[in-house]
Structures are given as structure tokens and as C-alpha cells.
A and B are shown apart, each in its own frame.
Chain A
Amino acid sequence: MSDAEPIVRVVGVHKYFTRGAERVDVLQDLTVDVADGEFLALMGPSGSGKTTLLNLIAGLDTPSAGEVWVGSELISQMSETGLARWRTRSVGFIFQFYHLLPVLSAYENIELPLLLLPLSAADRKKQVMTALELVGLTDRMSHRPGQLSGGQQQRVGIARAIVTDPTLIVADEPTGDLDAKSADEILKLLDELQRGLQKTIIMVTHDPHAAERAQRTLHLEKGNLVEQTARKLERA
């Protein structure tokens, strides 16, 4: 556990779905804190609830019971509209399959979340260019996703996640669709973001190699926290 103040606090969260008459409990009385600037990995087998937990923290879903705090905001109580607004300002998303809009260029994809913020065109351009530089794709900014490799697409995805300077970056299997080399580059990039920009990153992964990059790994099984492994902040 980091010493820093927790930025995310999941308190006694319960989540279930109903499938027909049957009730399926996905998360049971879960409590997790994530420190500001921490790089957290969530691991566990399919159906363990790790993605559900991520969705709750990212404000994509609301818990059946319990509270989710991000910073000073109780997001588990927000309306759908409120959540949408909050996400725009506070969360950056990175997906396994990148989910870039195929008809838009790399630049335009990255610009998308900024269009929701009250920014001038010049400010937007500045921010997009900064994000592009960070992920090292300035030379590919006018390419469409179809013209980019998987690794490059994911870097566009990351740039899009950080362009609004969010409090939190959530990544769902960010390397799941990539070959080992590209995956390594992406993980390195995430590492740099966390260390250089002090971003809080929460990442769901299957890949133990990917989890190694994180400072702390939570293992979930059937909706319960079963294990925590923490590594030293300093790495070789």
C-alpha cells in the first residue's frame, strides 16, 4: 500500500446481475483503495469480477450496494448524465480492441474527448499535439486507424485517454490484442505515464508479464479479493 492519500475508494461494494429469475453475484462486499499516482493491476480468471470492478471505478456502471469515491466525489450516487460529465473530465479509457472511430484520423480520434470540454480550438490542438508527442505518433497523426499497426492504434488509444489530463486512467486488457514486442512498448508507455506524469492507472489484465509493471496487483476470484502483491516502487 502506498503512503499517498487514496484517490479511489471502493467501500463495501456489492454488485449483482439478474439473469432471468437467477441472481448472479459478481462482486461481494469489496473494499479497495487506490492511491493517487498508483499503477494498479487487476487480475483473475474470467468471471472473477475484475472488469466489473473497473467499470464501477470508471463510472460506467453503478454498484448494487456500497460506495465508490473518486477524489472527493461519490460517483456511485451520480445520475447517468452526471456520470457522463464526470467521465469526460476525470477518466481516460484504454481498450483491448482500441475502439478508435475508423473514419476519423489519429489526430481527430484523440481530439474527440476534448470536444466536450470548453476549450478553444488552439488549446485543443496544443493538447492533442502534446498527447501525440507523448505516445510518439506525431508523424502518423493524419492516418486513419486502418492504416496503423495494432501497437500504433493502441498508442493512439492511450493518447486519447490522456489528452484530457484525467485523474484516472483505466485500461482493460490493453495488451491483449498485441504481439509481445508491441505489448512491451505499450506497457513501457504506461509505466512512463505513471512515473512521468504521476497518473493513477488501473489496468485489468490476464498477462502476468503485464501485471509485473504495476506497483500492486489485486487478484480477484468469484467477486472476492483473494490476494495482493505489492512491489517496490523502484525498479531496475
Chain B
Amino acid sequence: MRHWLSGLCMLLALSSVARGEINIGDKGGITYSVSSSKTPQVVDDENEIVITADAKRLEIKFKAGRLVYDGKDCGTIKTGDRVAIEPDGKITVNDESRPVTGLVAAWRFFVKHWREFLYGSLAAALALMVLLSLIGKVPVSYNVRNLFVRWKTTVMTALAFTLVVALMTVMMAFVNGMYTLTESSGQLGNVMILSSGSNDEGFSNLAFDDVGNVEKMEGIQPYGNDKRLASKEVFVMGNQTIPVGPGQKPKRRFVQIRGIEDPVVAALVHALSLKPGGQWFSEAGVEEVSGDKASTQNLIQAVIGNGLAAEMGSDRAGGKPLTVGDTFPLADRTWKIAGVLDSSGSTFDSEIWVKRQIAGEQFGKPASYTSIVVRAAGEKEAIKLADKVKASKETALNALTEKQYYSNMAETSKQFLYAIVVVAMVMAAGGVFGVMNTMFAAISQRSKDIGVLRIMGYQRRQILISFLLESLVLALIGGLVGCAAGMLADGWTARSIISGGGGAKFVVLRLVVSKEILAAGLLLSLFMGMLGGFFPAISAMRLRALESLR
């Protein structure tokens, strides 16, 4: 989970970024946006540069490069530089006469340090509670016991906190699962080589002639005596007709098939292995139907992702995951499972791997690859290698590091994140109103208590502290239970699609409840408690001693 919450911060930051200004921030992963009718382009120099654009704004993710705007070269820019588009279309880089306004600067700082802010705010909220209970003279046991006395109201209110926090935790865990998936699918040293102009293997088409000697390029790690860690692959999507009982609605599913030339090399490149008991498909990729020599069609040998094995298993009676030796129908052929990939947590979990030739012939790409994935020595070398491939005069190819490829796939996650934040905020608002009701009622019920305390000499602020603390205690309890309930979702699996950069992949992802999510949930709960408790506490503070005793 890299900077995914920073996406959220960015959304908020957008509103404060002046139109026409590009802010290049932080290391690679963080993105700033620009609103402009003309599209600036960043020509890469040495580091990863990706431009993705949507209808309204342009997003640039990179470390350094040359900026070209409206056909004019504006020089090299790097992380931390500030680029402004003047009204007349002129570009200025790091123009000190255009100071960063306080708000923008503050947002940038916030985006950069979101994790510190999150934990800091939570620590501050908890510290505030401790502080309030220390400077408060009304014993905390008074509040706690009152919570017990009106336990029905307490339970109802705390449950509202619990539900909001638990829901938020589950939803965030889903998004986090998406990010984790895209994070863990790419290998650091890997470079994906695609056909020129395509950013996704689903749209890439590398005719055998086009590939040339790309796998012989320098910088690709060797393997064995004469081989290299280069996996030539064809990635296709098939429709599987799901067997249903008579009279039932016909069903089908999309399956992703990856044809590979050399399974051993592919496994090394993608750092995957088979689960015990399995083996890779044979050189031919097919086998005869045992005991039935008369059968005209051979069985296609396949290696199947763990997640897909489970999903396909749910078709059959009993629902047990498919395993080595089982068969399944696809594209009017019978496929036999030779091995199961130990692939959970990556996009390969939902794929079928077969001999390249078979995948190509079955799915209409008999003479082409969709991608070649090669392994460089490390992350830096991978970036260099990708640049070299792209710059090659011999071939017209596109290349990007696998990390970048998969982080582009996180687009969907961002959309979900925004949707979740909106839903969580609206729900929280609903919860706050509930808390306010509870606290106002608590105060009107205990106005006599407040009167006595005031007569005895308790100051107004002591009353405020006492009731605020009560609301916070309620929020803390509800929030903690909510976090605990939300944690149950950790490890749930869910099907989804990840997409971005034009491509999409069907995946089975695992919900991941992280410390950050729990902290955010608890913080939300305390925030609700603070907001819901503050106004009632103010009203309690304003009660007049003598009148409240009448």
C-alpha cells in the first residue's frame, strides 16, 4: 500500500490548486493535476513518466523529465518543481514571483505526510481525551456510570458509531485489497514490452516479425546457459459456457488466458510457483484422453490460478475448488489441469496459463504475442531498459516497467475510494445527528445534577469537559467495536475488475484491513463523537444553576 490515500488528499487538494498551474510533487507515486484547455506533455528523460488524462484534467506521475507545452520545449523539470501556465500560454518553471499560497502549500504538505497526519490526529484525539479526564474535576466514573444507567440509549448510540466505522473499514479494506493486488502483481525488475501505442496487453498486438531481437537486448537477465528471463506471452479473453441444469438460464463467464512459450521462464519472470502436486504443461501442451485412444481431440493441459480454480469449482456439485487432474470445458474443448498456481494476491490468480500456440490458435491470435515480459537486474535497470526498448530504431515498441503497468491499473480503486469517502461522510453526518439527540437528552435528563455541581462550585468549563468526555467515551467504545467488527472482513475474497490505462482485468482480491484503515475508522468515530457532543456540552455549560434545580 504505497500512497493510495494520497489520492484522496489530491482530490481535496485540487480545489485549491490554481487553474493553469502544474505542481510537480513528491517521488513518482504522487500525482498533481492541472486544469487547462491545452495539454502539456512531459517527454521523458531518464525516469518513469506516465501521462494519463481524463476529460477534465491532466495527471502527471513522474520523477523528472523535459516539459513540452503547446509544441514548445520548456526545459527539464523534476520532482518538487512548480510549473505555471500563464494566461497568455507562456510556461514558467519555479517562478518565485508566483508564490505558493498558504492553502496550497498546506495541502501539499498534507498530501505528502498523510500518514503522519492520520496517526497524529488520532493521537491528538486520544490525548485530548486523556487531557480532558485529567483536567476535568467531575469524576469520569460519573459519566461512565450514567452511560450504564441509560444503557439502552448508550447501546443504540454506540451501535450507530459501530456500524458507520465497521462499514467504512470493510469498504476501505476492499479498496486497499485492490491496491495491494496491483502492488504485488508487478515484479520490481520487470519490463513489459507492448506494441507501440498500446498501454495494455489486452490491446497489444506484437506480430512475430515485429519483435525482432528484443529478447536478446542487453540488460535482460540471463537464465541457464543460453536463455534469458524473457517471457513471450499472448493474453486473451475467452467466454466459458458454464454448464447449467436443464431449463436453467444459460450462463457464461469471462476467463483470462495467458499463452506462454516457456513455463519455467514465465514462472521465474513472474515469481510464481505451482502448488504442491502440480506440474507445468508439456512441450506439446496437450495430452491424449487416457484410456480413449479413439478420441479425436486431445485434452489441453492448463495451469490455473488459485482463485479461478476456486471460482470454477463453485460450478460443480459440492463446490470444491478444481485441482490437479480435474477438467473444465472452454472454447469447445476440454482442458485438463496440470497444476495450480500459488498466485493468491496477484492478478495471475484469475488466469489460465497454457502453451502459447494453443491460446493463440483457440482465440484468434495465432501469429502474434500481446506482450513480452523481461527481467532486468533491478528497478533502476528496468526503467533504463524500458527506455531503451522504446527508443530502439529497429522496432516500434512500447515498454513500461511492470510496477508502473500495475499501478496504472489502480484507477478503478481511486474511483471506489472517492465513492466510499462520500458515502462514509454522509453516513457519519447521519450518525452525528443521532449522537446529538442522545447527548441533548442526557443533559436535559441530568440538568439537576448539573445544577448541584454548579452550586457546589464546579465551573462551567468543568461541565463542558464532563459532557464532551462522555460523548467521546461513547464514540471510543462504538468505534473500537466497529474496528473489531470491520477486522472480521480482513481476508474476505471478492471478485472485481481493476482497470486503468485502457485495460481491465478480472481479479479475485483479498480484503486487507490495515492499521491505517483502523486508525482512520477510530478517528472518524472520535470526530463524530466530538462533533455530536460539542454543542450539547455547550448547552449543558450554559445551564443556570438555580433554574436547573427547580
**Residue of B148, B456, B546 touching A116 (CB-CB under 8 A):** B456
- Set of chain A residues within 8 Å of B449, measured between Cβ atoms: 101-102
Q: Does B141 contact A (CB under 8 A)?
A: yes
Closest Cβ of chain B to A63, distance in Å, is 14
Q: Contacts A115-B137, A115-B139 hold; do A99 and B452 have CB atoms under 8 A apart? A: yes
Give Cα distance in the complex from A73 to B66, angstroms: 80
Most chain A beta-carbon contacts within 10 A, residue among B454, B456, B458 = B456
Instruction: Note all chain B residues with C-beta closer than 8 A to A86.
Output: 457
Q: What's the least CB distance linking B162 to chain A, in Å? A: 24
Known: A84-B457, A84-B459, A88-B456. A99 touches B149 (CB 8 A): no
- Within 515-550 of B, Cβ neighbours of A (below 8 Å) are at 545-546, 549
What is the minimal beta-carbon distance from A104 to any residue of chain B, in angstroms? 6
1/0 per residue, CB under 8 A from B, across A115-143: the answer is 11000000000000000000000000000
Chain B residues with CB under 8 Å of A102's CB are 149, 449
B118-170: which have CB < 8 Å to A? 137-139, 141-142, 145-146, 148-149
Residue A71 at the B interface, CB < 8 A? no
- Shortest beta-carbon distance from A51 to chain B in Å: 9
Known: A99-B451, A101-B142, A101-B449. A112 touches B545 (CB 8 A): no
User: In the complex the two chains form, what is the Cα distance from A88 to B540 in whole Å?
Assistant: 20
Q: What residue of chain B has the Cβ atom nearest to residue A84's Cβ?
A: B457
Q: How many residues of B contact A (CB 8 A)?
A: 23
Closest to B148 in A: A103
Report the minimum CB–CB distance from A57 to chain B (whole Å): 13
Choose among A93, A100, A116 the residue with the greatest number of B CB atoms under 10 Å from its CB.
A116
What residues of B have a CB within 8 angstroms of the CB of A93 in the complex?
455-456
Known: A55-B546, A103-B149. A85 touches B457 (CB 8 A): yes
- A112 and B455 contacting across the interface, CB-CB below 8 Å: no
B100 near A: Cβ within 8 Å? no
| Nearest CB in chain B: distance from A123 CB, A | 16
Interface string of A61-104 (1 = CB under 8 A from B): 10000000000000000000100111111000101000111111
In the complex, the answer to whether B457 meets A87 with C-beta atoms within 8 Å is yes
For residue B484, CB closer than 8 A to chain A, the reply is: no
User: What B residues does A81 contact at CB under 8 A?
Assistant: 459
CB distance from A40 to the nearest CB of B (A): 20
Main secondary structure of the interface of A (DSSP, over half): helix
Cα(A115)–Cα(B140), bound, Å: 12
Residue of B nearest to A93 (CB): B455
Q: Tell which of B142, B455, B545 touches A103, judged by Cβ atoms closer than 8 Å.
A: B142
A103 with B146: CB separation less than 8 A = yes
Within 8 Å of chain A (Cβ to Cβ): is B242?
Answer: no
Among B146, B457, B549, point to the contact of A88 (Cβ < 8 A).
Answer: B457
Which of A55, A87, A104, A108 is within 8 Å of B456, CB to CB? A87
Is B453 at the interface (CB under 8 A from chain A)? yes
Is B448 interfacial (CB-CB < 8 Å)?
A: yes
Find chain A residues with CB under 8 A from B139 CB: 104, 108, 115
Judge whether A176 is part of the interface by a CB distance below 8 angstroms. no
Complex-state Cα separation, A81 to B541, whole angstroms: 13
Chain A residue contacts of B448, Cβ below 8 A: 99
Interface residues of B in 420-477 (CB under 8 A from A): 448-449, 451-459
- Complex Cα spacing A104 to B146, Å: 9
Query: Do B457 and A99 have beta carbons less than 8 Å apart?
Result: no
Contact present for B137 and A116 (CB under 8 Å):
yes
Residue numbers in B under 8 Å from A61 (CB-CB): 546
- Cross-chain contact B142 with A116 (CB below 8 angstroms): no
Q: How far is the CA of A60 from the CA of B549 in the complex (A)?
A: 12
> Quick check: A112 and B459 within 8 Å, CB to CB?
no
Q: In the complex, how many angstroms separate the beta carbon of A236 from the nearest chain B beta carbon?
A: 36
Instruction: Tell me if A12 is interfacial: C-beta within 8 Å of chain B.
Output: no
Is A112 a contact partner of B546 (Cβ separation < 8 A)?
A: no
**Residue on B nearest A90 in the bound complex, by CB:** B457
Is there contact, CB below 8 Å, between A104 and B145? yes
Closest to A58 in B: B455
Residues of chain B contacted by A84 (CB below 8 angstroms): 454, 457-459
* B453 interface neighbour in A60, A89, A103, A112, Cβ under 8 Å: A112
**Chain A residues with CB under 8 A of B459:** 81, 84
Q: Which residue of B lies closest to A101 (CB)?
A: B449
Among residues of B, the one whose C-beta sits closest to the C-beta of A83 is: B457
Please tell me if the beta carbons of B141 and A113 are within 8 angstroms of each other in the complex. no
User: How many angstroms between the C-alpha atoms of A102 and B545 in the bound complex?
Assistant: 18
Selected from B141, B146, B458, B545, the residue in CB contact (under 8 A) with A60 is: B545
In the assembled complex, how far is the CB of residue B150 from the closest CB belonging to chain A, in whole angstroms? 10
A89 to B456 Cα, complex, angstroms: 9
Say which residue of A60, A87, A104, A115 sits within 8 Å of B546 (CB atoms).
A60
CA distance A86 to B455 in the complex (A): 11
B73 shortest CB reach to chain A, Å: 69
Assess whether A113 is in contact with B456, with CB atoms less than 8 Å apart: yes
Whether A112 and B141, one on each chain, are in contact in the complex, defined by CB atoms closer than 8 angstroms, is no
User: In this complex, what residue of B is CB-closest to A115?
Assistant: B137
Q: How far is the CA of A218 from the CA of B459 in the complex (A)?
A: 33
B457/A113 in contact, CB under 8 A? yes
The smallest beta-carbon distance between B464 and chain A, in angstroms, is 14
Residues of the B chain whose Cβ atoms lie less than 8 Å from the Cβ of A55: 546
Q: How far is the CA of A101 from the CA of B142 in the complex (A)?
A: 9
Q: Shortest distance in angstroms between B462's beta carbon and chain A's nearest beta carbon? A: 8
- Taking the closest CB of chain A, its distance from the CB of B465, in whole angstroms, is 13
Contact A116 B457 (CB under 8 A): yes
Task: Let me know if B142 and A60 touch, CB within 8 A.
Answer: no
- The answer to whether A103 and B145 have CB atoms under 8 Å apart is yes
Which residues of A, 19-77, contact B by the 8 Å Cβ criterion? 55, 60-61
CA distance A204 to B129 in the complex (A): 42
A100: chain B residues at CB < 8 Å are 452
Which chain B positions have C-beta within 8 A of A88? 456-457
Taking CB atoms, residues of chain A closer than 8 Å to B149 are 102-103
Closest Cβ–Cβ distance, residue A141 to chain B (whole Å): 15
Within the complex, the shortest CB–CB distance from B455 to chain A, in Å, comes to: 6
In the docked arrangement, what's the CA distance between A84 and B458, Å? 7
Q: By the criterion CB–CB under 8 Å, are B141 and A108 in contact?
A: yes
Q: Which 10 A-B pairs have the closest CB atoms?
A: A88-B457, A103-B145, A87-B457, A99-B452, A84-B457, A113-B456, A115-B137, A101-B449, A103-B146, A116-B457
- Between-chain CB contacts (< 8 Å), 21 pairs: A60-B455, A60-B545, A61-B546, A84-B454, A84-B457, A84-B458, A84-B459, A86-B457, A87-B455, A87-B456, A87-B457, A89-B457, A95-B452, A100-B452, A101-B452, A104-B141, A104-B142, A108-B141, A108-B142, A113-B456, A115-B138
Chain B contact residues, CB within 8 Å of chain A: 137-139, 141-142, 145-146, 148-149, 448-449, 451-459, 545-546, 549
Besides A81-B459, A103-B146, A103-B148, 14 more A-B contacts (Cβ < 8 Å) are: A55-B546, A61-B546, A84-B459, A87-B455, A87-B456, A89-B457, A93-B456, A99-B452, A103-B142, A104-B141, A108-B142, A115-B138, A116-B137, A116-B457
